[in-house]
Amino acid sequence: MPLSQSIRAALLSATALLPLTAQAETVKLTLLGVGDVYNFTEEDGRGGFARLNAVARAERAANPNTLYLFDGDMLSPSLLSGFDKGQHTIDLTNIVPFDLAVPGNHEFDFGPANFLERVKASKYPWAAINITNADGTPMTGVGGVMVKDIAGLKVALIPVGQDTSPSVAATGDLKFQPTVTTAIKAAKAARADGADIVVGVVQTDMDNDRKLLKSHAFDVILSGDDHSYATAYDGVTVYVETSLDGQFLSPVDLTVDIQEKDGKRVVTWTPAFRFIDTATVQHDPETQAMVDKLSAGLDETLNVEIGTTETALDSRRNVVRAEESAMGNLIADAMRAATGADVALMNGGGIRADRIYDAGSKLTRRDILTELPFGNVTVLTELPGSQLLGALENAVSQVEKSAGRFAQVSGVTFSYDASAEPGARVSEVMINGTALNPDALYKVAVNNFMLDGGDGYDALGGGRLITDTGAGNLVASDVMNYVETAGTVKPTVEGRIKKLGQ
């Protein structure tokens, strides 16, 4: 045998003794999450559905291996949702459909039946593994864990809703299993079933997000609810808190390597975060045309001046959920005037515009409906003072968390000590200048959400209903009538609610 042939044969023989080189494949997977989209138009040149849809179209065009995922809250509250119960958000998102949408607590503001009607109208799937009917059966049209085959990758989407929804929304008899434990259990099961990538699509607060991250059951967590933007990576799990109104977006690109080693499939990945300030994004033309049409219809109805405020009004979220505010006083005064109540209570979480009106501002119908977008009705009930005290205790029971149950009030003054145990914080309660009598009956005006126990107001139940949901006016209508009748209003912060120790 010639020398060259001998060398070649030897080399081939040696190569045969070596282990086979692993065959590798690389896939780029993009995950675009968004949540808490309330305003269908942009605000200060950012956000809104026209910019959001433009980003989603661009991401899918750049990478067909893109998953566009919604993590809760769009049907409500918004100015337009008070009229169409959120249908416009479905119409706008149907233009560029999600791959999966998880219902947030605000999907139930108009009740489960309305949510299911919106599900039927959606060109994309809704899912939540921890929400069921009262008998434990799944909601019609609402799915569970979704497994997607993306370029040979088995991607499991774990959709989980907010387990506190029954206390902050009109969820009816729906049952909500614990967000964290349900999510982790499902993620581990998906991994055991062979998922290559496990993605949590969740609506929950950052405290629960931290628990989900710590579990290391997920590769990626996309979370809504906190109205903030954040990204993190601890070497195991990628995390994105998906901002508010689509203002700031963070697509996550996973470079995924798939190998066969010793007969086993091995998947590894590295993440890359991108930041998109939607102020730099051009509107999607198709979506913008619908936005313009919706806006024009609203303008004709709502841009009507109803009065002037001589004093500054503050409806910022951190104020109406933690202290007496002039805007809260205006709303509560209007409710009390409309019903002839002794006392009026308005949950701060129901006041939504999150802004300051300068002294001398002209107030419009739009302003009031933006502040009060939920479509709640003013109801009048008669309660003993002991129950009214219980309602006030509930109002300040989570003040340190800026919970929406904090009450703006009229006809009552009180002090509270935030350092005391919840349920024993309130003192010095005066009803129109007279000390509260636990046994006396008081007429109390509230909204129907609170009367039904929303935001923890169970203490308001069981009273004698004088006007109920069917007979009452919208809270927004009562406020508009109050301002229009007065012509000029001048509410101030006057010491209705005093925090001890300040």
Instruction: Write out residues in the chain with pLDDT < 70, as ranges.
Output: 1-23, 468-471, 502
Residue 24 corresponds to which tokens in the numbers above? Answer: 């590798």
Burial of 227 (0-12, 13-18, 19+ CB in 10 A): middle
- Give the DSSP H/E element, type plus range, for residue 334: helix 326-339
Q: Which amino acid is residue 275, in one-letter code?
A: F
pLDDT tens digit sequence for 113-167: 999 999 999 999 999 999 999 999 999 999 999 999 999 999 999 999 999 999 8
Q: Is the dihedral of CA 261, 221, 120, 176 positive or negative?
A: positive
Check if the beta carbon of residue 157 is closer than 8 Å to that of residue 102: no
Q: For position 469, what pLDDT does the model report?
A: 66
Burial of 354 (0-12, 13-18, 19+ CB in 10 A): middle
The DSSP result for 169-237, as a single string, is: S--TT-EE--HHHHHHHHHHHHHHTT-SEEEEEEE--HHHHHHHHHHT--SEEEEESS--EEEEE-SS-
- Give the DSSP H/E element, type plus range, for residue 378: strand 378-384
Domains and CATH numbers, the chain: 24-293 (3.60.21.10), 304-499 (3.90.780.10)
For residues 386 and 264, what is the distance between their CA atoms, to the nearest angstrom? 67
For residues 322 and 51, what is the distance between their CA atoms, to the nearest angstrom? 33
Our measurement of the distance from residue 225's CA atom to the centroid of its chain's CA atoms, rounded to an integer in Å, reads 4
- Give the DSSP H/E element, type plus range, for residue 258: strand 252-261
For residues 120 and 131, what is the distance between their CA atoms, to the nearest angstrom? 17
SS3 category, 471: coil
Check if the beta carbon of residue 321 is closer than 8 Å to that of residue 348: yes
For residues 388 and 495, what is the distance between their CA atoms, to the nearest angstrom? 19
For residues 343 and 438, what is the distance between their CA atoms, to the nearest angstrom? 14
User: Residue 438: CB partners within 8 Å, gap ≥ 6?
Assistant: 384, 385, 386, 389
User: Residue 269: CB partners within 8 Å, gap ≥ 6?
Assistant: 29, 197, 219, 254, 255, 256, 257
Check if the beta carbon of residue 201 is closer than 8 Å to that of residue 166: no
Q: For position 16, what pLDDT does the model report?
A: 42
Cβ count near 331 (within 10 Å):
31
Q: For position 80, what pLDDT does the model report?
A: 85
For residues 324 and 341, what is the distance between their CA atoms, to the nearest angstrom? 20
Q: What single DSSP character describes residue 22?
A: P
Any bridge partners for residue 162, and if so which? Answer: none
Name the maximum alpha-carbon separation found in the chain. Answer: 117
Note every long-range contact of 294-303, with CB atoms under 8 Å and residues 24 or more positions apart, other chains counting. 294/40, 294/80, 294/88, 295/41, 298/79, 298/80, 298/366, 301/365, 302/79, 302/364, 302/365, 302/366, 302/369, 303/364, 303/365, 303/366
Q: For position 470, what pLDDT does the model report?
A: 60
Check if the beta carbon of residue 409 is closer than 8 Å to that of residue 344: yes
For residues 210 and 470, what is the distance between their CA atoms, to the nearest angstrom? 43
Phi, psi of 231 (to 5 degrees): -135, 150
The DSSP result for 398-435, as a single string, is: TGGGT-TTPEEEESEEEEE-TTSPTTS-EEEEEETTEE
For residues 241 and 255, what is the distance between their CA atoms, to the nearest angstrom? 21
